[in-house]
Amino acid sequence: MTDVVVTAANVIGDGGSPRATGTAGVAITAGQAVYLDSTTSTYKLSKSNLVGANKCTGIALDSAAIGQPLTIQKGGPITIGGTLVKGTTYCQSTTPGGICPQADITTGGDVVILGVAISTTQLSLNIQVPGVTL
């Protein structure tokens, strides 16, 4: 699976898009896909082939160590800090926190759509969890 190579310093959220704040349950880098763990009430890294982590709440807008505050973007345009292919649908990958093109989801991976690239740098974040495992 080929993940988008994200430069954390280049991740820029859209000020008018929905956000959430919380606490990091693991070390998180800006640009990684995260989910809210209902057991610990902390954000952890999404992973498409791991039960419990095979969901996504948003994309981290900043980096945080365990126990530190974290802001995530839940929808709308986001400058992802990496190179995208305009018009391509992107999903969470099997790499914890990773983002990959939908075509790279392999057998055993749950399809969790993050959004569609609206340019080579911006993703239109619209998280969908259709409940499909390949």
CA 17, CA 96: separation in Å to the nearest integer?
24
Is residue 32, in this structure, part of any structural domain at all?
Answer: yes
How many domains does the structure of the chain reveal?
1
Domain limits for position 107: 8-128
Q: What is the pTM of this model?
A: 0.92
Is residue 13, in this structure, part of any structural domain at all?
Answer: yes
Block residue for tokens 């880098």? 29
Is residue 109, in this structure, part of any structural domain at all?
Answer: yes
CB-side exposure of 78: number of CA atoms within 13 Å? 31
Each residue's pLDDT tens digit in the chain (134 positions)?
Answer: 589 999 999 999 998 999 999 999 999 999 999 999 999 999 999 987 766 557 899 999 999 999 999 999 999 999 999 999 999 999 999 899 999 999 988 777 788 999 999 999 999 999 998 777 77
Is residue 98, in this structure, part of any structural domain at all?
Answer: yes
Is residue 134, in this structure, part of any structural domain at all?
Answer: no
Is residue 3, in this structure, part of any structural domain at all?
Answer: no
